Amino acid sequence: MSPPNARPFDPVEATVSEIHDAYETGETTAEAVADAHLARIDDHDDELNAILAVNRDARDRARELDAAFDRDGFVGPLHGIPVVLKDNQDTRDMPTTAGSTALAESRPTRDAFVVARLREAGAVVLAKANLQELSFGVDTVSSLGGATRNAYALDRRPSGSSGGTAAAVAASLGVVGTGTDTCSSVRSPPAFNDVVGVRPTMGLVSRTGIVPLSDTQDTAGPIARTVEDAARTLDAMAGYDPADPVTARGDGRIPDEGYAAGLDAAGLAGARIGVAREFFGLRNDESAPERAADRVTAVVEDAIGELDAAGATIVDPVDVVDHTRLESARVLEYEFARDFDAYLAELGDAAPHDSLADVVATGELHPSVQARFEDAAILDTDVDALDENTGYLRSLRRREAIRDAVLARMAADDLDAILYPPSRVPPVEIPDNQPFEEMNCELAAHTGLPAIVVPAGFTPAGLPVGVELLGRAFDERRLFELAHAFERATDHRRPPDRFVE
């Protein structure tokens, strides 16, 4: 039954606080909000191709939340909020496929830790989003879901691997979403779709129940249309998980009041932000037209001016670390097979295959993903000898040195954050591949330090550009303050024209 003050719910650009206000005033219900978003998926996803599967239990869950609200009020900070999950996060009521037909029948018996936390916070798991198959790349193409399109230009890539979530949230197919980030995946897709993405400090968010790519780099993070909603979502996701010992690092480091509390439009006043110029302009002259990089740089330069106008002190430039040294700390080729096989082993009888090698051997992977395995040495790595693999151990040690150097630079210049574009180039046209070498993903990924991407504006062609802020370990609260103040001062977020109805 509709509440007495009910009126049609408009899901476009709706925020958590707006929806909660509507629940409190009796203007709508969780069931109506879920229905409105499910209708948008029906109406728009044929064009966007962001959603792999809709949760058939979403309406029942929403009704249960409405009954709970009538009895006791909100069950948690995300009460009745439709969430789109990246489909590499285990769900007890839906398959978890990582976008692969080879895993289409994989049905975990329990939720990933972050999914369980979201449900406890009152979220409605609405759907699961397409991703780059196995998260192995930055295009968001998969054998199960095909190619996801950019919400602002359907002939362009959304980046990846969390491109399905970012495009879905940008087009208001869900209120907030989740991604995972090994290197770029909750940062470049939000930048390319004019939304907010957060890579938390390594150890803040559990990886239990998430299809892995690289254990020492993987983390889950929120994707949302506003900084406040991203903060609310991280509030729900973060926490100590005994099954993931790395989360002991974050124990006691989460603010008691949460990340969403106390966001201030004046948060940039007195802030010191360093500009990492080595991450501007093309890295590979053959990867994209020079003018494409110039267009991204022009938008980011304007954002730097806006930060200055909002009260920040800009330290320009700051020397952080050169790209060659960052590249030398890559470990994915060593860890992928080891960690993926361990995930399958944990699934037990629910696992459709025994190993990554078996999945690749099916020949079912998307051709572009299959080709990446053929070009890489991932399946040739002796995972049982990693403790003695000098190349692997050297890369891990270099990470520690890079992290220490970055923190030392921040301390020496008294910086609150380091700024750079998450990608040196805008979204490429389909069927081209998004050039990984132009993604500035490795600084956060290799140091384990937190980073947030926030909309910074658009190129003359109408393609979104984001700006990334890297912070100190477990200082997400400060990053949210800076990003929120920038968001309020500039208002660069705008819905994609094609999906406003």
161 tagged catalytic: yes
CA 297 from centre of chain: 22
Query: In angstroms, rounded to a whole number, what is the distance separating the alpha carbons of residues 340 and 215?
Result: 9
Query: In angstroms, rounded to a whole number, what is the distance separating the alpha carbons of residues 66 and 402?
Result: 49
The helices-and-strands tally (H runs, E runs) of the chain is 15, 13
Pick the catalytic residue from 100, 135, 142, 185. 185
Q: Is 355 exposed, middle or buried (0-12, 13-18, 19+ CB in 10 A)?
A: middle
Q: How many alpha carbons fall within 13 Å on the CB side of residue 147? A: 18
DSSP conformation class of 439: B
Pick the catalytic residue from 143, 159, 161, 214. 161
Task: Report helix, strand or coil for 355.
Answer: coil
Dihedral sign (CA 302, 303, 309, 313): negative
185 tagged catalytic: yes
Kindly list the distances between the CA atom of residue 414 and the CA atoms of 175, 226, 318, 443, 472, in Å, as whole numbers in the listed order: 36, 27, 11, 19, 11
What residue type is assigned to position 254 of the chain? I
Q: Is 374 exposed, middle or buried (0-12, 13-18, 19+ CB in 10 A)?
A: exposed
Task: Report helix, strand or coil for 359.
Answer: helix
135 tagged catalytic: no
Nearest to 426 by CA among 167, 196, 188, 135: 188
What residue type is assigned to position 223 of the chain? I
Cis-peptide, bond into residue 431, ω within 30° of zero: yes
Pick the catalytic residue from 86, 135, 184, 214. 86
DSSP bridge partners of 89:
210
- C-alpha angle 222/164/85, rounded to 5°? 45
Query: In angstroms, rounded to a whole number, what is the distance separating the alpha carbons of residues 203 and 218?
Result: 10
The set of catalytic residues is 86, 161, 185
